[in-house]
C-alpha cells in the first residue's frame, strides 16, 4: 500500500495484533500523518480554536451579535490548518486530486464518534454555487460526509456565487445571508464543511435553522 498524500510505500508494523485482529486500511505514512496536526484538546469550547484559554475573543463577539448569538452550539475540527494542510487542500479542492479525502477518513470518523455520535443530528452539507461546482467538479462538504458514511441532507440553496474566502472578517459579518433554507429542520443539525475560518458560513446557516425551529446546531470541519 502507498500513502495517499506522498505516494511513498507504507510498510505496516508487524506484531501479534496483525495476526489476531482484522486489519484496518492504512492511508497515510507516518511522515505525512505527523505533519497533519490533530486537534485533541481545543482551547475554545465554542469554535475549536487551539490557542485559546476558554471562549475566545471571536466567539465572545459572535455571542454579542443580535443576529447570531446562540445560533451555533459548538464547532469541532479534526486538524489544525497548518502549511502542510494548505498544500493538501489545494491539491484536493483545486487541482482535482479527489482521492485525497480518503486520507482523512479515519480521523474524521473518530472525531465524529467522540463528539456527535449520540446527538441524533441530521448531517447537512454546505451548498456550492453552480459556478463553483462546475469549476471544482464536486462539493467538498458532500465528500467529507461520504467519508463519515452518511448521505447528506440538503436543507439549503445558495443565492450568490461570491467566495467567502475573498472577504475580510468585517465584510463577511456585514454581508447578507447568501443561503436560503428549503428544508424543515426538526432534529438537531450537524453542518459539515472543510475549513472553519471566521465561522461566518456556519453561522449564516445556523441562524436560518434556528429561526425555523431547529433545536440545536453543531458544526464539524476538517480543518480549523
Q: What is the pLDDT of residues 19-28, one digit of tens each?
A: 666 667 789 9
DSSP E strands in 80-184: the ranges are 122-125, 156-158, 179-181
Question: How far is 92 from 141, CA to CA, in rounded Å?
Answer: 12
Q: How many helices (H) and strands (E) does the chain have?
A: 9, 6
The predicted pLDDT at position 96 comes to: 86
pLDDT digits (tens, 9 = 90+) for 117-151: 999 999 999 999 888 888 889 999 999 999 999 99
The residue with cell 454579542 is: 64
Question: How far is 146 from 143, CA to CA, in rounded Å?
Answer: 5
Higher pLDDT among residues 167 and 178, named by residue: 178
The predicted pLDDT at position 12 comes to: 73
Predicted TM-score (pTM) of this structure: 0.89
The predicted pLDDT at position 176 comes to: 83
Cα→Cα distances 149→5, 112, 184, Å:
22, 11, 23
With beta carbons less than 8 A apart as the criterion, state whether 182 and 155 touch.
Answer: yes
Helix (H) or strand (E) holding 126: none
Amino acid at each position: 500500500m502507498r500513502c495517499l498524500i506522498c505516494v511513498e510505500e507504507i510498510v505496516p508494523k508487524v506484531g501479534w495484533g496483525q495476526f489476531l485482529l482484522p486489519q484496518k486500511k492504512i492511508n497515510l505514512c507516518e511522515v505525512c500523518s505527523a505533519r497533519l496536526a490533530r486537534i485533541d484538546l481545543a482551547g475554545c469550547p465554542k469554535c475549536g480554536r487551539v490557542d485559546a484559554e476558554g471562549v475566545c475573543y471571536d466567539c465572545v463577539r459572535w455571542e454579542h451579535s443580535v443576529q447570531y448569538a446562540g445560533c451555533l452550539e459548538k464547532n469541532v475540527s479534526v486538524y489544525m490548518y497548518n502549511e502542510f494542510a494548505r498544500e493538501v487542500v489545494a491539491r484536493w479542492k483545486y487541482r482535482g486530486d479527489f482521492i485525497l479525502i480518503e486520507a482523512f477518513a479515519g480521523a474524521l470518523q473518530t472525531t465524529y464518534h467522540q463528539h456527535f455520535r449520540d446527538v441524533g443530528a441530521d448531517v447537512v452539507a454546505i451548498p456550492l454555487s453552480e459556478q463553483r461546482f462546475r469549476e471544482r467538479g464536486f462539493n467538498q462538504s458532500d465528500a467529507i460526509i461520504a467519508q463519515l458514511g452518511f448521505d447528506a441532507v440538503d436543507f439549503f440553496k445558495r443565492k450568490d456565487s461570491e467566495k467567502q474566502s475573498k472577504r475580510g472578517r468585517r465584510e463577511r459579518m456585514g454581508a447578507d445571508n447568501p443561503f436560503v433554507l428549503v428544508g424543515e429542520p426538526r432534529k438537531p443539525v450537524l453542518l459539515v464543511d472543510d475549513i472553519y475560518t471566521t465561522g461566518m458560513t456556519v453561522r449564516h446557516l445556523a441562524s436560518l435553522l434556528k429561526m425555523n425551529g431547529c433545536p440545536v446546531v453543531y458544526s464539524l470541519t476538517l480543518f480549523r
